[in-house]
Amino acid sequence: MKRLLLALPLAACATAEEAPPTGVTLRTVPEKAHVRFEDGTTCTTPCRAEIAEPIGVTIAKAGYEPVRTDVAPSAEAMLFTLVPVGRSQDVEEEALPEL
């Protein structure tokens, strides 16, 4: 008698209560920003993360204001435009010497 061994991938065993992970692509302008998920996972943009439920993220790059937000599994891609940290135009104009 021959036996048939059937192997099923673990993802196929997910119940209706457990959503399978979904890929979300995170991009920033400018690129190469550091992304830290609240579970400690990190990546550098552009990057793709597999998430099963909404999770908080912090996106940071030297010289730019950090961004804190939540990422949902339903989002296929997210684009963040980082804002430079620095003096305002008014401060820069006042600091210029008279010619």
CATH of the domain at 70: 2.60.40.1120
User: Is residue 70 one of the residues assigned to a domain?
Assistant: yes
The CA distances from residue 47 to 10, 42, 83, in Å, are 25, 10, 20
Domain extent at residue 47: 21-83
Lowest mean pLDDT among 14-28, 29-43, 46-60: 14-28
Sign of CA dihedral 68, 48, 34, 37: positive
Q: Is 58 within a domain?
A: yes
* Matching residue, tokens 């192997």: 7
Look up the pTM and report it: 0.66
Question: How many structural domains are present in the chain?
Answer: 1
Residue 27 resides in a domain: yes
Q: Is residue 4 part of a domain?
A: no
The token duo for 65 is 């204001």
Answer whether residue 94 is part of any domain: no
Q: How confident is the model at residue 6 (pLDDT cuts 50, 70, 90)?
A: very low
Provide the 8-state DSSP code for 63.
T
